[in-house]
Amino acid sequence: MGLYRRGPTWWISFSYSGKQVRHSTETDDKKLAEKIYHKVMTEVAEGKWFDRPVGERKTFGEMMEKYMVEHSRIKKRSASRDEVSLLHLLPFFGPYYLKDVSPSLISSYKAARLAKGASSASLNRELALMKHAFTLTITEWQWVNENPVKKVSMEKEPPARDRWLTDEEEEALLGASPEWLREIVVFALDTGCRRAEALSLVWQNVNLETGVATVFGKKTSEWRSVPLIRRVREMLSTKHANQKVRPLKEALVFLNPTGQAVNIHELRSAFEKALDNAGINNFRFHDLRHTFVTRLAQNGVDLFTIQKLLGHTTFATTQRYAHHYTESLRRGINVLDAYVEGRKVREPDSERQEDTPKPFITILSQKGENTPDFQERKS
């Protein structure tokens, strides 16, 4: 009986009502494990161990383990992001019983994370994960009755990044890129596809005759058709025709210099090198997608069309580019202005009596009757 280690984690073992109980402390800190052990033994002595509500017997670590197994890993595309968040959440909250996870404790966690340089966005994702886990704990598992995270404010995040290539930067970037990278950059620039969508594109899903590529959005788990502008069609047509071995339909369109699938790490390395050689700062591969959107919006393409081209599931995501579209609306006002000015030229001179229409008089106006009588007045 007492404390023992199972891997890096300390466990407690004790006898209760003739049964052996083993329980993880969810920590590798021996001093903290000892405090948990003494607290549990006190409750056992008082006969409160198994008589407590579930929330008083379950730890935060147990809640998150159940959440990951039964929800995140099988239902969420952001499961990997949840795993990263847990690297920060579990060392702090893991050993605490759910009843002890209070708003003040969460505030202390926020202060500690911010002091270590965590961004507001990262912290908000961690809090959002906690909040959803507690929600399921209340509504589905019925371990607790309140969600302490709802009582804690989220951090204010800086404005969304809005960086795009100028024409001069694009020319410099393409000139500094090897051929295999240049093809990927052009495709991303002219289609707005995400990196994973471009790298997973196969020839079977490229129709050069109609100029349409069908890509699978891993982020949205949906297929969408992407129209190809002339530059991309010509690039893909040349690429297809110049391949010595006829590519199989399921073969990838974009390959590295060795003819293998492009690894995201080698793509990042080559892209960053090309940026350095081109003298371009503060730019990421995903900003090629931003460039695609910005160019559309600044040239008057409506936001609904942009949403469909990007494959956004909600209009709110697309609206971040609305300021570009608003600037382009001046052209629409100019069209109206030209119409009004042109109409003024054609308007008749009010002083010319012969152009003034004669009044139409009805018998009703003369008789004061309610029934109209559209007869000409006799002189």
What local confidence, expressed as pLDDT, does residue 379 receive? 41
| Position 136 pLDDT exceeds 70 | yes
pTM of the predicted structure, to 2 decimals? 0.55
The DSSP line for 182-206 is HHHHHHHHHH---HHHHHT-BGGGE
- If pLDDT is split at 50, 70 and 90, which confidence band does 341 have? confident
Is the pLDDT assigned to residue 372 strictly greater than 50?
no
Q: Tell me the two tokens of residue 59.
A: 């730890």
| Residue of higher predicted confidence among 366 and 26 | 26
Q: In the chain, what percentage of residues exceed pLDDT 90? A: 43
Contact 144, 99 (CB under 8 A): yes
- What is the per-residue pLDDT for 363? 43
* Token reading at 288: 């090629």
Across the range 143-172, mean pLDDT stands at 88
pLDDT at 98 over 70: yes
Stretch 104-127: mean pLDDT, rounded? 94
Q: What are phi and psi of 360, to 5 degrees?
A: -100, 115
Which pLDDT does position 63 carry in this prediction? 95
Other Cβ atoms within 10 Å of 149 Cβ, number: 20
What is the CB-side half-sphere exposure of residue 316 using CA atoms within 13 A? 2
Residue 360, pLDDT score: 43
Residue 377, pLDDT above cutoff 50: no
Alpha helices in the chain (DSSP H): 30-45, 54-57, 60-67, 73-75, 79-93, 103-115, 120-136, 167-176, 179-191, 195-199, 230-242, 264-278, 287-298, 303-310, 315-318, 322-328, 330-346, 363-367
Query: pLDDT band at residue 3, thresholds of 50, 70 and 90?
Result: confident
CA distance 221 to 218: 5
DSSP string for residues in 255-324: B-TTSSBPPHHHHHHHHHHHHHHHT--S--TTHHHHHHHHHHHHTT--HHHHHHHHT-SSHHHHGGGHHH
Asked whether residue 251 carries a pLDDT value surpassing 90, the answer given is: no
Tokens at 4, concatenated: 């023992």
pLDDT for 315:
63
Closest CA to 94 of 56, 121, 63: 63
Instruction: With CA atoms as reference, report the closest residue to 274 among 332, 209, 193, 188.
Output: 188
Report how far residue 314's alpha carbon sits from residue 322's, in angstroms, rounded to the nearest whole number: 14
In the chain, where are the structural domains located?
Answer: 1-49, 52-158, 167-327
Question: Confidence band (pLDDT; 50, 70, 90) for 111?
Answer: very high
Asked if the model's pLDDT at residue 348 lies above 60, the reply is no
Q: What is the CATH number of domain 52-158?
A: 1.10.150.130
CATH superfamily of 167-327: Intergrase catalytic core (1.10.443.10)
- φ and ψ at residue 97, rounded to 5 degrees: -70, 150
- pLDDT of 275: 95
What's the chain's average pLDDT? 82
Q: What is the pLDDT of residue 101?
A: 94
Question: pLDDT-based confidence at 45, cuts 50/70/90?
Answer: confident
16 and 44 in contact (C-beta within 8 Å)?
Answer: yes
pLDDT at residue 128 tops 50: yes
Neighbours of 379 (CB within 10 A): 3
Of the candidate ranges 12-21, 213-222, 364-373, the one whose mean pLDDT is the lowest: 364-373
* Residue found by looking up tokens 């989220």 in the block: 154
More confident call, 193 vs 341: 193
Q: What is the token pair recorded at 272?
A: 């960053």
Q: Tell me, what's the pLDDT at 43?
A: 76
Determine the pLDDT at residue 93.
96
| Contact between 312 and 222 (Cβ < 8 Å) | no
Q: Report percent pLDDT > 70 for the chain.
A: 78
pLDDT digits (tens, 9 = 90+) for 53-88: 566 678 999 999 999 999 998 888 778 889 999 999
- The arithmetic mean of pLDDT across residues 301-323, rounded, is 72
